[in-house]
Structure 1
Amino acid sequence: MDWVARTAQLRQWTRSGVRAPHKPLLFLYALSRFQQAADDELRYSAVEEDLRRLLTEYGPGNRTTPAYPFHHLVSDGVWEVRTERGPGSPGTGVRELRATGAAGRLTPELRAALRRAPSLLGRMARVLLDLNFPPSLHAELCEAVGLELEEAGTGLLPAARRQRDRRMREVVLTAYAYQCAFCGYDGRIGSVPVGLEAAHVRWWAFDGPDDVENGLCLCSLHHKLFDKGVLGLGDGHGDGHGDGHGDGHRILVSQSFVGRSTAAREHVVALAGRPVIGPQPGVRPIAAAHRSWHTSEVFHGSPRPATTA
């Protein structure tokens, strides 16, 4: 059994770029619990809140019960569910899972494979991360599920792997004149930019291309907030001719974001409605399809009204 290949196929249940990380999140959580206590079952009623928190923080904006992946992951051959009545899941109903004492764990075959080859767990986890989440979230997601991974290659199969274009960072940073498109930060140490990153608007994990029409130069803070759905891109009133203000794009700030400090107000809340800085004249702006994907699949909730100067 090629468990890495089977892990890579979990993502095939998504359609047309719609984010549905429910199974990958449960699978990462289960791998973490196996790492901590190989033979423990995960009783649904005991892990429901953990799974709900993961779905809220790392899933799309639409609400989904943790019962959904708890039941449906069984069909992928890596997870089994038992109730007080015996083997088999009672379905996707929260009430049924609680009432029957439903508990799940990795299948016996997978647990045996993980014991024979301990490095397999890390390779499977990295496939789940690479195929479902941007790199900016990998470390904190591992921390959130309690997973410890050694620094290593991704373990992706050649057939499941696209090669990243190493030139994208330089192309995007140049297009935005080495300043954050949201706040204008342009720090350097000598001649080397520091704290500036090339963000994918449509995530690479969801077929986002490595090109300037899918890229934003963002500082580290705003890159993380953009990937977490706190910040987004909306239409503005630009003329579409590269006037230095993002070709009409304006910054969205989620109403779900709460920050009481002066720093939170100045660096996040105050961005609502501001024009995006750049790209430079002559550079292709962000493609509408990529912006729409981010708005529907990543941005959380409704945008705040524009702040007044």
Structure 2
Amino acid sequence: MDWVERILRIRQHTQHGVRAPHKPLLLLLALARFQRDGDRPIPFSAAEEPLGRLLTEFGPPRSTSPGYPFHHLTNDDKIWVVETPDGTGSPGSGLSKLRRPGVQGRLHPDLAHALTADPSLVGQLARALLEANFEPSLHDDICQEAGLDLEGIDLPAPTERLLPPRDPRFRMRVLEAYEYCCAFCGYEGWLNGTAVGLDAAHLQWRSYGGPDQVDNGLCLCTLHHRLLDRGVLGMTQDRTVAVSRKFIGRTAATLKLVHELSGRPVSEPQSGLPTPNALHIDWHTAQVFRSPAREPAAA
């Protein structure tokens, strides 16, 4: 049985580019618990808070109950089981029923057996879930929040089975288009003739149909790339920087590096090269950015 393929086939509502990583986040949490505790069941009362935090931090910018994936993952074949004291199976996704004593979830016995037999499988499944659902800049943060330890695991990207290979020219094309300067803050830096601290960021994530094309990319410094992927920063159709009102920072450095970006024009690429596509901007605004945006600082 190919568990990577099975995990990647879990049913998610992803029509029209909608992000729905609720089941993957539950599975990442369950894999972390398996690493630590083995095949012990996870009471919903113990999973609710950490799963809710993962959904808030890394899920789409809309409210989602942790009861939704805890229950609905049981509909995927031999992945997840919910147990109750009376043996009737999952009571549904309602929090009041899931919070009753004795309601607990666990990885399906077949999957747990496979994980026990092959310790590297935890890393394979975790990498598959991360690659298929999240931008690379978020992987370490998600693992840390879930409690997953993937140190020392170096595996080929399993989602090449589902996604086209990354275009190795994408980064260079985007950095050249923006002349090796962050489109948000203007940072540029070089070490021995090599640009450092600059990334080619996707507006619409590859895992949700975003192409490796200049009109879906921005040259950003590593800080602003990560904040873009976390939904702290966004881009308006007027080509200005949006800063989430939900992001809080009080130091002078935070005000300068983040808050003061609000309303600042995003740098244009070189003449003759495509500007960010409106559809990709809309996708990021709807699926990643943590609205509402702050009002630009008074001049």
- AA aligned opposite 1:81: V
Cα offset, 1:61, TM superposition: 1.0
1:43 aligns with 2:33: no
1:263 aligns with 2:253: yes
Q: Distance in 1 between matches of 2:245 and 2:159?
A: 40
Cross-structure match for 2:99: 98
1:185 aligns with 2:175: no
Q: Distance in 2 between matches of 1:161 and 1:201?
A: 17
**What is the DSSP-based 3-state SS (H/G/I as helix, E as strand, rest coil) of the residue aligned with 2:274?**
coil
Cα offset, 1:155, TM superposition: 4.7
Cross-structure match for 1:143: 144
Alignment of 1:77-116 (within 5 A): 77=77, 78-116=79-117
TM-score (ref. length: structure 2): 0.96
**What is the DSSP-based 3-state SS (H/G/I as helix, E as strand, rest coil) of the residue aligned with 1:197?**
strand
Choose 155-164 or 275-284, whichever is displaced more.
155-164
Q: Is residue 52–residue 65 contact of structure 2 (8 Å, CA) maintained in 1?
A: yes
Cα offset, 1:207, TM superposition: 1.5
- Segments of 5+ residues of structure 2 without an aligned counterpart are none
Cα offset, 1:22, TM superposition: 0.5
Deviations 1:77-135 (A, max 9, x none): 20000112114100010000012531001000000111112211111111100000000
**What is the DSSP-based 3-state SS (H/G/I as helix, E as strand, rest coil) of the residue aligned with 2:71?**
helix
**What is the DSSP-based 3-state SS (H/G/I as helix, E as strand, rest coil) of the residue aligned with 2:250?**
coil
- AA aligned opposite 1:4: V
Q: 1:87 to 1:117 in 2, by over 3 A?
A: farther
1:287 aligns with 2:277: yes
Cross-structure match for 1:217: 219
Cross-structure match for 2:268: 278
Cross-structure match for 1:59: 59
Q: Is residue 61–residue 297 contact of structure 1 (8 Å, CA) maintained in 2?
A: yes
Q: Is residue 127–residue 154 contact of structure 1 (8 Å, CA) maintained in 2?
A: no
**What is the DSSP-based 3-state SS (H/G/I as helix, E as strand, rest coil) of the residue aligned with 2:158?**
coil
Cross-structure match for 1:253: 243
Q: 1:163 aligns with which of 165, 185, 188?
A: 165
Cα offset, 1:48, TM superposition: 0.7
Q: Is residue 11–residue 131 contact of structure 1 (8 Å, CA) maintained in 2?
A: no
Cα offset, 1:19, TM superposition: 0.4
**What is the DSSP-based 3-state SS (H/G/I as helix, E as strand, rest coil) of the residue aligned with 1:279?**
coil
Choose 171-180 or 80-89, whichever is displaced more.
80-89
- AA aligned opposite 1:212: V
1:305 aligns with 2:295: yes
Deviations 1:191-245 (A, max 9, x none): 2111000000001111111010100000000000000000000022xxxxxxxxx
**What is the DSSP-based 3-state SS (H/G/I as helix, E as strand, rest coil) of the residue aligned with 2:220?**
strand
Q: Is residue 177–residue 273 contact of structure 2 (8 Å, CA) maintained in 1?
A: yes
Cα offset, 1:11, TM superposition: 5.6
**What is the DSSP-based 3-state SS (H/G/I as helix, E as strand, rest coil) of the residue aligned with 1:292?**
helix
Cα offset, 1:12, TM superposition: 4.7
Q: Cα RMSD between the aligned structures?
A: 1.2
**What is the DSSP-based 3-state SS (H/G/I as helix, E as strand, rest coil) of the residue aligned with 1:277?**
coil
Q: Is residue 11–residue 76 contact of structure 2 (8 Å, CA) maintained in 1?
A: no
1:15 aligns with 2:33: no
Cα offset, 1:268, TM superposition: 0.4
Cross-structure match for 1:244: none
Q: Distance in 2 between matches of 1:102 and 1:15?
A: 32
Cα offset, 1:190, TM superposition: 3.0
TM-score (ref. length: structure 1): 0.93
Q: Is residue 136–residue 227 contact of structure 1 (8 Å, CA) maintained in 2?
A: yes
| Residue correspondences, number | 297
Give the 4+ runs in structure 1 shifted more than 4 A: none
Percentage of matched positions with identical amino acids: 50
Q: Distance in 1 between matches of 2:146 and 2:94?
A: 24
Choose 221-230 or 39-48, whichever is displaced more.
39-48
Q: 1:98 to 1:26 in 2, by over 3 A?
A: same
